[in-house]
Structure 1
């Protein structure tokens, strides 16, 4: 299965995100991640969706079905373009007196930040691409991950042209 990142511009109305997610899941396509937020235009919401599909034909089916929704303004497959993709992760890790210094070293190597410290744990924050976040998670798993909260991927194309004009 290949992963594709779609930037979907939609009318900023209640229920639109639900319609999009349910349309994709009804077609038995897997949503790897989904994130939504305001854009530079108040009336438009940007939804970033990472979908797993077996072929470009299946991807085209997803795009075709989404484009039929009334509230969808524009769909761009950012996988086709040179783009900047980021995720945010918060990782709560067990941290004993003995392991705390080692955890700090790992955090510093990844240019992550410790955003909370408890008696028995620390919370690490990292923004980066999927591979970087996966690598940090793997290293911190040796210390005992208590909990992970991870956003979906967001992306912007490189250069001056915004998605709405692609």
Structure 2
């Protein structure tokens, strides 16, 4: 089962290495990992996507909590969450193909962010499946380069009903 872990950590050197080493020792493949500032000064948020059964993931969370720089671990997989990924993709695009490619990327709310003499660079954000679909539609034009950030995510706000 796919799991998205949100891990709040101290913004210190080697924390990322310690977290990834812990997962590696337990034979977990990290599908993606993104790290950046959090809402609190001195803390960073890691968003880790991996696969495992519930029991094993529970053990991983307990092990993560034992690391001194880990403040909080939250498995977003069992709760409503917003997940996004950023994609930059460079596609072969001579002058004749540019309008057609623009028509392909427009329904994805993607943007052309660079144009060269024989290529275009497109930026898109969204869920992994959406970005995968965009890549497949652009593949016939000739993909030159792809860069993806990996997933970043936050739990959704829970709307409270009036009582």
TM-score normalised by structure 2 residue count? 0.93
Deviations 1:74-93 (A, max 9, x none): 00001111111111010011
Answering whether residue 120 of structure 2 is matched by residue 144 of structure 1, we say: no
**Alignment partner, residue 83 of structure 2:** 85
TM-score normalised by structure 1 residue count? 0.91
**Alignment partner, residue 18 of structure 1:** 17
**Alignment partner, residue 131 of structure 1:** 129
Cα distance in 1 for partners of 2:31, 2:138 equals 22
The Cα of 1:96 is off from its aligned counterpart by 2.1
The Cα of 1:61 is off from its aligned counterpart by 2.4
**Alignment partner, residue 122 of structure 1:** 120
Residues 15-94 of structure 1: matches in 2 within 5 Å? 15-53=14-52, 55-94=53-92
- The answer for unaligned runs of 5 or more in structure 2 is none
**Alignment partner, residue 159 of structure 1:** 157
Superposition RMSD in Å: 1.4
- The answer for unaligned runs of 5 or more in structure 1 is 162-166
Deviations 1:19-47 (A, max 9, x none): 10111112110100000011111121100
Runs in 1 of length 4+ with deviation above 3 angstroms?
Answer: none
Cα distance in 1 for partners of 2:43, 2:94 equals 47
The Cα of 1:50 is off from its aligned counterpart by 0.3
